[in-house]
Structure 1
Amino acid sequence: MSERQEELKFAYWVPNVSGGLVVSTIEQRTDWSVEYNQKLAQTAERAGFDYALSQIRFTAGYGADNQHESVSFSQALLHATTKLKVLAAILPGPWSPAVVAKQIATIDHISNGRIGINVVSGWFKGEFTAIGEPWLEHDERYRRSREFIEALKGIWTQDNFTYRGDFYRFNNYTLSPKPVQKPYPEIFQGGSSRAARDNAASVSDWYFTNGNTPENLKLQIDDIQVKAAKNDHKVRIGVNAFVIARDTEEEARAVLDDIIAHAHVEAVHAFGDAARQAGSASPEGEGNWAKSTFEDLVQYNDGFRTNLIGTPRQIAERIVELKAVGVDLILAGFLHFIEEVEYFGQKVLPLVRELEETALRRKAA
């Protein structure tokens, strides 16, 4: 393909929390240690992945009994790689924009421009309560995130930055040195609600959404892009997907059935209760997980719904279908991370690039 920006990007979930990516007692040959994750990052870089997304959790629950902090952990992955960009999950509330701006600018220099952030507005009330942070209503959390992102952009691009918001204020603040990346490190943001989409259409570089069908994703993406155009803003779209690639479709479906059959029922229901509270708390009742089934919730971010389950050819074709409705990035989770990331790079990614080339030639013709 002649231009890199026309190719789909690929990211993977960093398993920096214990329990893997499914709430199931099935064996997962995945580990949350630094050593495992550095090896995984090197494997993903060789396989052709562009990004790694670290997770932020402050408390145990839903199988994640142990959690490494996202920014520190991201640095460990950057030290082990040379090309991979690592996205550190950031939670407004526990973090202030001034601290994040300083941290990320420094890491940007250390890594030669390979750090980004994913701003998580917050969905787990119990976590905020546990660490003594105020819990805001749904749309207020996104309003705070918007100010958070606006403040970061200002700090990273301006001298004598002054800002007067409801949540954050700055007075003639100058950060030096500023980040290596220009105009600033990439800012990702997640969500599925109207408030999340409005934020993305106004201030975020990237928008992550939960897994879904191409038809439902198109509705979300079209809404965002219409709003973004009105705001004279550009935003790219990433979608969550749990990938089960096997030599036959029967093998892949059997793995999915096994994951669900061994679901940790109590943990899934507990997660579902907290997640639905966050999703249904949006005024329109359409936030993350608001309409998820029990089976969907076995994978934290509705990854099964994206249906990247089958043979390499089937998965590649479905990925290109997602691209056709406006998806720019696939955020992938796996059962056995290192071996499956390697398999994905060998068997699936070449087919995706081949199909992209074919589509490009047809478009040109």
Structure 2
Amino acid sequence: MEFAVNVPTSVGSSEYSTMPFTDAISWADQRQFGLDIEALGYDGLAVPDHIMTGGGAGTMEATTTLAALAVETEDVYLYPKTINNPLRHGPFLAKTVATIDEISDGRLKLGMGAGWKDDEAKAYGYDWPAAPDRLRELEETLEIMKGLWTNHEFSYDGDYCSVDEAVCKPHPVQEPYPPIMVGGGGEEFTLRITAKHADCWNYWGSLELMAGKLSVLEDHCETYGTDYDAIEKSWFARCVIRETEDAVAELLEEVPMFKEENLDESEHHLVGTPEQIVADIERYREIGIDEVVVEFIDFPGTEGATLFAEEVIPELR
């Protein structure tokens, strides 16, 4: 089982950011946190892709942050999780990804999604089509990127995006290209796109919800004749961890949204002592989860990340 850690691009409290222990995001905090996470032995650094989640505290751009982390780190894989496809021109994104893979010497793991946060896109002047159109555009983007990464010249005439004898060199370091994760839980479109195009699938939620999505993914793999077992299954969870139950309860007073009574039935986070969290993750491993992406709510501190690395990960590898 692999473990990646979110390097936040925004802080404070909003519908996406839940970092109560710092008032503003900064590259200095991101850099130090990323270096600390690598030193603790985690497998990867994940970077969310948003442009307006931090409110007045600000939001850092994902691909720029990834390129900087590529220079600062040595071994961890670098994981945009998840690129908001409507905010990027697909062919240019192929160039961006190839460049970051070059800078990192082949450590990029590409997370792609159709986006969900319409207010930030509209605020920045983007059109925001309905979900089916965004998902069809995502599929075209994946096809274009693969073509650009594996051909000297590549042409493609799509409904949403086209290229004409385009060259994307240098190609990515990884051959034939970086592993592609598709993020999202839509059963008709997203999981179909995953089965057809992806090396990894990531989502969040309760054990029952995840198990149901995996069953649908397996059905789509059967339809396309793809190997379900070859697709890495990844789960995202925010984490509230301390050595004792009393310390966990104290921390929950700072982030009451993670208290059991404040969660809906499809929502689940890693909350508890190391022993409790090991048992929790084991349940997800039993349904086929290969990777856990964790966001520690005590960023930019590393108390939670350190405890998790020392007492949780060794029990699951």
Please indicate the TM-score interval, normalised by the length of the shorter structure: 0.7 to 0.9
Q: CA deviation at 1:189?
A: 2.1
- Equivalent residue, structure 1, for 2:91: 98
Q: Which structure 1 segments of 5+ residues have no match?
A: 1-7, 264-292, 354-365
- Equivalent residue, structure 2, for 1:260: 256
Instruction: Determine if contact 1:16/1:54 at 8 Å carries over to the other structure.
Output: yes
Q: Which one of 74, 78, 86 corresponds to residue 86 of structure 1?
A: 78
Structure (1/2) with the larger strand percentage: 2
Distance 1:188 1:333 in 2: 18
- Equivalent residue, structure 1, for 2:294: 332
Distance 1:35 1:20 in 2: 20
Aligned residues: 310
Q: Deviations over 1:96-143 (max 9, x none)?
A: 122111122122112101123222312122222222211111121111
* Distance change in 2, residues 1:21/1:35 (3 Å): farther
* Distance change in 2, residues 1:327/1:261 (3 Å): closer
Residue 178 of structure 1 aligns to a residue whose secondary structure is: coil
- Equivalent residue, structure 2, for 1:247: 243
Residue identity (%): 26
Matches within 5 A, 1:22-171: 27-28=20-21, 32-60=25-53, 63=55, 65-88=57-80, 89-171=82-164
- Equivalent residue, structure 1, for 2:268: 306
Q: Deviations over 1:224-256 (max 9, x none)?
A: 123124323342221111112222234324433
* Distance change in 2, residues 1:215/1:64 (3 Å): farther
1:203 aligns with 2:165: no
Distance 2:146 2:17 in 1: 40
Q: Deviations over 1:306-345 (max 9, x none)?
A: 3421121121122122111011111111121322112211
Residue 114 of structure 1 aligns to a residue whose secondary structure is: coil
* Distance change in 2, residues 1:261/1:38 (3 Å): closer
Matches within 5 A, 1:179-258: 179-194=172-187, 195-212=189-206, 214-233=207-226, 234-258=230-254
Between 1:340-349 and 1:245-254, the stretch displaced more is: 245-254
1:12 aligns with 2:9: no
Q: CA deviation at 1:261?
A: 6.7
Residue 59 of structure 1 aligns to a residue whose secondary structure is: coil
* Distance change in 2, residues 1:118/1:25 (3 Å): closer
Instruction: Determine if contact 1:31/1:37 at 8 Å carries over to the other structure.
Output: no
Using CA pairs under 8 Å that are at least 6 residues apart, name the structure with larger relative contact order, 1 or 2: 1
Q: Deviations over 1:202-229 (max 9, x none)?
A: 11222111222x2221111121123124
Distance 2:104 2:151 in 1: 22
Distance 1:92 1:25 in 2: 23
Instruction: Determine if contact 1:30/1:336 at 8 Å carries over to the other structure.
Output: no
Between 1:13-22 and 1:192-201, the stretch displaced more is: 13-22
Q: CA deviation at 1:349?
A: 0.9
Q: CA deviation at 1:64?
A: 6.5
Distance 1:207 1:23 in 2: 20
Distance 1:9 1:319 in 2: 12
Q: Which structure 2 segments of 5+ residues have no match?
A: none
What TM-score results when the alignment is normalised by the length of structure 1? 0.77
* Distance change in 2, residues 1:308/1:160 (3 Å): same
Distance 1:15 1:153 in 2: 28
Distance 1:78 1:321 in 2: 33
Q: Deviations over 1:142-178 (max 9, x none)?
A: 1111111111111111233222221111223232211
What TM-score results when the alignment is normalised by the length of structure 2? 0.88
Distance 1:72 1:180 in 2: 19
Q: CA deviation at 1:91?
A: 2.4
